[in-house]
Amino acid sequence: MKILMIGDVVGNPGRNILKRELKRLKAEKGAIAAIVNAENCAAGSGITAALAKEILEDGADAITLGDHTWGQKEFAGQIGGLERLVRPANYASECPGRGWTLVTLPTVRFAVVNMQGRVFMNPVDCPFKTMDRVLAEIPKDVPVFVDFHAEATSEKITMGYYLDGRVTAVVGTHTHVQTSDALMLPKGTAYLTDLGMTGPYISSIGRDLKPVTRKFVTGMPSRFEVAEGPCVLEGALIEFDPATKKATNVETVRIREERSA
């Protein structure tokens, strides 16, 4: 069986390419499901219940988030009703929402876990200890797919090997740049440091270049709007054996719109 995992959806442009391409991509790749990181889908920061519903209708079977989970102020009151959406499991226990969920399809049941890194990120509980706790809660007979939303490649790689043989896949999100290190770890876990981005690629990781450049050149604060223009949809295709819960293959995917003349 195959599952698609899709990198950070950025703003309205990212949602539009996801709407146009996700169902077709699932059919083309023979994927039974898609897990989509959508923590940047609401004007570049956060998500709302309405947008989560839209993304699920567009072909996502589960949604993961990250450090912008609370980017839209009304979302804290909405997240509890969204069963197929997960925020980082290593947030404080008082935070609303869930850190992992089970997705049940006619052919398979699988778990989706969201975790946030600590290196160069806002303070959260230890992702490694939290993963141990979460895995003790998840039924032992289901494949587990982990979205590790983190900045440092070293932290992501270490998590991959820490979970090797214990989960089906560990993929990174957050940096919006797809990496070229897709590989099968020794004990049967699929790994990729970063899925990449679903959004406008003539940009600075999805943001308009002018204010970002101004900030780098002058050091002055600037509002970073979502960029316009052609988009890319990036992610990974994970093939796995539901009986053993082991991955058998991982490959990156990319759909890039052409630039207009």
Q: Say if CB 31 and CB 60 are below 8 A apart.
A: no
Tokens of 165: 């043989």
CA–CA distance, 87 with 69 (Å, rounded to integer): 7
Q: Dmax over Cα atoms in the chain, in whole Å? A: 56
DSSP state of 226: B
Q: What are the residues whose beta carbons fall under 8 Å from the beta carbon of 244, sequence distance 6 or more? A: 188
Number of H helices, E strands in the chain: 5, 14
Q: Say if CB 178 and CB 7 are below 8 A apart.
A: yes
* 68 counts as catalytic: yes
Tell which residue, 113, 118, 164, 155, has the closest CA to residue 136.
Answer: 113
Which residues are marked as active site? Answer: 68
